[in-house]
A and B are shown apart, each in its own frame.
Chain A
Amino acid sequence: MSADAATAIETTQVVAFRLDGRLFGVDIRDVKEVNEEVAITRIHHAPRNVSGYLNIRGQIHLVVDLRVEFCFESAPSGPSSRVIIFKSSIDEPFGVLVDSVEDILEIDSSRLVDRRSKEGANDPGSELRQARKELCLGVYPLPKELLMLLNVRGILPKEEN
């Protein structure tokens, strides 16, 4: 649904962030806020990609570690680490832990390359292909590097029913 929306609209604003040096982005319309608070409570027995719980103004958010999601080496959160919190309309409260948040970029949706249809040499890396397909909407060529646009709704597993 969001994939359609992304291609139908001419320009899209994305929040760009980095994981293991690589550039990623999510549609700004899905983002509620970017939080510097990274005092995350670990949840033992949770799936590996779950970083833990984070309290933001009394509301408990599930935080997904995108590094694990993309099979990067896990790294401790540093001073530039941020949690991107998504809007409550998407799912129960949750966000993603990223290495750093870069900027808000305006991208031309028509130039977005659906990664699944074109697996060129410019792909940001084969390990990314192993990540779940529904997570990636496509690759966007910036002047200096590529940005992978993520589908926020593909981060958490779908509800059973």
Chain B
Amino acid sequence: MSDEISLMDEFLGESREHLERTENDLALLEREGEDPDGELVRRIFRAVHTIKGSSGFFGFVKIGSVAHAMESLLDRLRSGSVRPCKEVLDILFEGLDRLSGLFADIENSNQEDTKELERRILSLVPQEPKAERSCACVQKSSLEPVPQEVLDELPCGHHLYRLTYDLCAMERERKIGPMALIERLLSFGNIYEGSLESAGSRNLREGIPDAVRYGLLYSSVLEKFLVTEAVMLPDELVEEIAYATSSPDVLASLISLKGNGSAPPAADLPAVQEGERHSEAEYLKVRLDILDKLMALAGELVLVRNQQLMIADPDNAEARGITQRLDIVTSDLQETIMRTRMQPIGGLFARFGRVVRDLGRKLGKEIGLETVGSDVELDKNILESLVDPLTHIVRNSCDHGIEEPQARERRGKARNGTITLRAYHEGGQINVEIQDDGAGIDRGAVRRKVLEKKLKSEEELNALSDPELLGLIFLPGFSTSEQVTDVSGRGVGMDVVKSNVEELGGVVEIQSEEGKGTCMRLRLPLTLAIIPSMIIETCGQRFAIPQINLEELVKLYDEDVLHKIECAGAREVYRLRDTMLPLVQLQELLEKPDAFDEDTRRESTERHRKQRQQRHAEFLAAAQSGAPIPWSLSFAVLKVGESRFGLIIDRIVGTEEIVVKPMHRVLKELPIYSGATVLGDGHVALILDVQGIARHCGTQMDESERMGDSEVADDSAEHHHLLLFRNRPEEQMGLPLGKVSRIERIRMSEVESIGEREFITVQGVSTRLLRLDRFLEISATPQREEMYALFPKSSAHPYCLLVPELVDIGEYEFTMDIENYRHPGVDGTGLIAGHLTVIVRPEAIARMAEPEWQWEEA
């Protein structure tokens, strides 16, 4: 019973594979045009043939008859009497769809009416003058001669077998009597000749003999590997002796064989490929749960190996040798078992031949699909999870990417667009690219759409670099399609693509050049179960960070710790090359289970700044006393999609291949972990979820924090005339020169105050003095006797800004970032001479200070 079910499962699984492969092959065939590759046609033929044969075996007659009709047409295609024109291909695709449909509801497939389709398929099969016999037999080696009548009667497509049963054994072991056996055999084939002989004496008076041998000639459409199961015989008792094919060229060769008695040239022999069937025999179906178990055990073994490596006595040569061998064997075993789960991505790519073909047709575009790296292997689970994201991207490429043929010609491109699916290894991970040579992403359309959907404001958009602008297509609710088609453009999609890929521990990157095309790159881990990781330590506890999220490690020494970390509003940032990298302290993150908000960030930024200053003082004191204490700070640069952040850690322990265990169900909701692992010393370490941490700490919002790191951003950099000043040595600020009328040096002893308000009298006018630290989120302004007052231009009310230290006046080129530090009193921030600079809006500060004053609407 269970055998039958598993046989059935096998049939369904195999048929599905055949259908998928055939679909792709048909798309290939279509591309090859009028002069198809013979092997391709034969492959399609064989697949349909196999489906026909095995469905007959299971009694799915409608599948069988549709497949039969298709086979007839394919046979003519194979012989060259029918050309693969559009009509033929369309009907073959239709037939394939019908088969898929029948398979989808296999239980009720026999109730379907397929007559009409079969008629249409067969109508394309030209009637050829009836040969005496439309098929020919290919006889294979056989020890015993086969009667010619049997060969003559062998139906087309049938294999002839010689089966040898021991009826006693059948009765004994399988509880199948001779009649039941014959009934079973007749249910999927024909019996020609049978002969019965009992072992030993023919005299039955001596009792039932030990064995009764029943030899018979039997024909069936089933191929040998299937027939052995169907007839319940081991492989060695089934002998294939002939195969009737309907191929005319074989017929011809056989006729000539009959005619002049000479052997046909070997090359003309039909492709009854032993070799191909042989390749199928090299595969063994293994249940997934057994593989999973094996994988888990290999994981355990890795742990044991790691522990053994740790305790191995380096002085004991013998023990060391054994440990080394354990190490090598374990690694090999782990890798081999991992490979059992790996499948070539080609199977996934193959699906898209059809998708692209259909979409192209529907959209009136000419689109071809190319695949590169189909043999690159990926973990089965990852492959399965890739179906949706890839489908989405490919659909988008067809719909939005590739232009219509006329438009392409106008642009001087080939009429037919090409989508390339490419897979390749890079640095221990797999990259999957979906590239099209279409129109590229229209930045203007992206901007319009974002504004229209109110996803971002105009100002926010202006502050974005090009990659960030492209990254906006991943926002939920975004769709650039000017009109909604039924292909794509429903506004759900790219955000789902992104989250799907991120769930796999991967990232999505976009490159797009307007007019030239778009390339989406998915970077994926090889497998989900064992991942290379960096082990770090903080708070005396070790954590694992998946290598795929790790960009680089930065270590700052001595005074750099103080100077290289800047404060941007509520945030600590580090200038990594030309990018502003927000920093997060892992220790702080661990201590705060609630998601960070602006206040949390501001409070910790201020605290860290103070700590650093105190530490700096200690450092200086120690250096002066001649006993310097080393001072350093390490952080890991982690990437989340297009953005990066730095995670400050205590210590880097090393790298390790870790076996990922999921979090316990009661802890699944903790965002900052993606799982746990057992380290070599047997301790459990938690695996940090970089995406989760970015969300928890709110680093992800600040994609615009990265500035000026791309050429495009440089292009959009503006020139600003500024007066630069400093509140504190590490807090540089600027004031647009156009807003300043004059600068006065003042003495703080001359300042008078009324309540909270401070005034200074300059040129006989009592002027309100505004301290920036009261209105902006900056550090307290240091107290000095001599300070500067900046007087604004064209103000109806007398006020000035108090600043402790002037830096310079000049023209600076930078991109104003408005996202970084949002405050009514601030225009934005910019990177000037390597320092983050806050550009102050004096009139807004005055308005905050004196809301009662009469203010013209700005």
Contacts and interface: CB of A to CB of B under 8 A. Distances in A.
Given A41-B686, A43-B670, A46-B670, A159 B665 contact: yes
Given A41-B541, A42-B541, A60-B676, A53 B686 contact: yes
A42 to B, nearest CB: 6
B590 A58 contact: no
A77 B299 CA distance: 30
Interface in B669-711: 670, 672-673, 676, 678, 682-686
B593 interface: yes
Contacts of A137: none
Given A60-B661, A94-B664, A45 B676 contact: no
Contacts of B299: 58
B667 interface: yes
Contact of B303 (A45, A58, A91): A58
Given A42-B541, A94-B664, 16 more contacts: A39-B682, A39-B683, A41-B541, A43-B670, A43-B673, A43-B686, A44-B591, A44-B672, A58-B304, A60-B661, A60-B664, A60-B678, A60-B684, A91-B665, A92-B664, A159-B665
9 contacts: A41-B686, A42-B541, A44-B591, A46-B670, A50-B667, A60-B664, A62-B664, A62-B666, A92-B665
B718 interface: no
Nearest to B672: A45
A55 interface: yes
Interface in A47-83: 47, 50, 52-55, 58, 60, 62
B300 interface: yes
B590 A41 contact: no
Nearest to A155: B666
A15 B682 CA distance: 27
Interface string A32-43: 000000010111
A5 B586 CA distance: 48
Contacts of B664: 53, 60, 62, 92-94
Contact of A41 (B593, B661, B683): B683
Nearest to A94: B664
A99 to B, nearest CB: 22
B691 to A, nearest CB: 15
Interface in B629-673: 661, 664-667, 670, 672-673
Nearest to B587: A44
A156 interface: yes
A45 B666 contact: no
Interface residues of B, number: 23
Which 3 residue pairs across A and B have the least CB separation, nearest first? Answer: A44-B590, A53-B684, A41-B684
A159 B666 CA distance: 8
A157 interface: yes
Contacts of A42: 541
Nearest to A53: B684
A60 B663 CA distance: 9
Contacts of A156: 666
Interface in A133-161: 156-157, 159
A56 to B, nearest CB: 9
Given A55-B684, A58-B300, A50 B666 contact: yes
B629 to A, nearest CB: 29
Nearest to B303: A58
Contacts of B686: 41, 43, 53
A58 B303 CA distance: 7
A45 B678 contact: no
B184 to A, nearest CB: 43
Contact of B667 (A39, A43, A55): A43
Contacts of B591: 44
B476 to A, nearest CB: 25
B682 A157 contact: no
Contacts of B665: 91-92, 159
Contacts of A45: 590, 593, 670, 672
Contacts of A54: 684
Interface in A84-113: 91-94
A62 B686 CA distance: 12
B201 to A, nearest CB: 60
Contacts of B672: 44-45
A39 B540 CA distance: 13
A62 B661 CA distance: 12
Contacts of A41: 541, 676, 683-686
A60 B590 CA distance: 21
Interface in B115-160: none
A55 B677 CA distance: 9
